[in-house]
Amino acid sequence: MPEATGLYYEVHGPADAPPVILSSGLGGSAGYWTPNIPALAAQHRVIAYDHRGTGRSDRALPGNLSIADMAQDVLSLMDALEIWRASLVGHALGGMIGIEAALASGRIERLVAINAWRTLSPHTRRCFETRLALLRAAGAEAFLQAQPLFLFPPDWIASHDAQLTAELPRHLAAFPGAETMEKRIAAVQAYAPHHSAIASLPPLLAIATRDDFLVPFASSRELAASFPGARIETFKWGGHACNVTDPDHFNRIVLEFLRS
């Protein structure tokens, strides 16, 4: 099992191709990118990893976990793999990790932020508080049963109900524990980028989905507006995890941006 600095990682695609790091959202799993890796790896050296505290990575977390800590993990992984500069594609939390890695190092070539934000919306905060209440009162299984409601559109959930039901035991077995999930959600809720430095960030593609139940469409637009010259791409449908529900559209847009 490939591991560096306590992080599980996977490498896909040609060794001499431009490197792209994939950083997932709250779940933290490299497996989240399964619908996207084959298309991206046809043109790039793709590195997907499990966030520290989740999946197959080291489960120990600092007491006051921050997104800056998560960004340092990305930079340490780049060091271990002898990658000086790379593009980064991040989903929600992963997008903020990319921002922080770029601010800390200048080593992020291009950045794709999927349904991410600069300022946490009161709506998103309510969603996180609701998920925490479920976790505390009803446990991990109820937390994971509710998870698709925040990730996917209703019609996609209805048509994939059997798949989601079959996947639940695997997600439950991999669940990192309530304490780790509380720390990760607290880090997300506390996040605020350095407003004076954000103008120096690399080229950004912000992907915003109109029917995202977790992150309002306006939040992603606000993020894009804070980057000089940022590009914003709108999905009319796809929910919070639009790279899973509409992978062909997503892969095409991201590959075009990485080539530009």
Query: Per-residue pLDDT tens for 204-245?
Result: 999 999 999 999 999 999 999 888 889 999 999 999 999 999
What does the alpha-carbon distance between residue 53 and residue 213 come to, in Å, rounded to a whole number? 26
What top-level class would CATH report for the domain 3-259? alpha beta
Q: Percent of the chain scored above 70 by pLDDT?
A: 97
Q: Is 100 helix (H, G, I), strand (E, B) or coil?
A: helix
Q: Count helices and strands (H / E) in the chain.
A: 11, 8
Rounded to an integer, what is the distance from CA 86 to the centroid of its chain?
16
Residue 194: pLDDT over 80:
no
What does the alpha-carbon distance between residue 213 and residue 197 come to, in Å, rounded to a whole number? 30
The domain locations on the chain are 3-259
pLDDT of residue 198: 64
In Å, how far are 27, 32, 96, 244 from 237, measured between CA atoms? Answer: 22, 19, 23, 12
Q: Is-above-0.85 flag for pTM? A: yes
Q: Is 217 within 8 Å of 153 (Cβ atoms)?
A: no
The pLDDT confidence band at residue 197, using thresholds 50, 70 and 90, is low
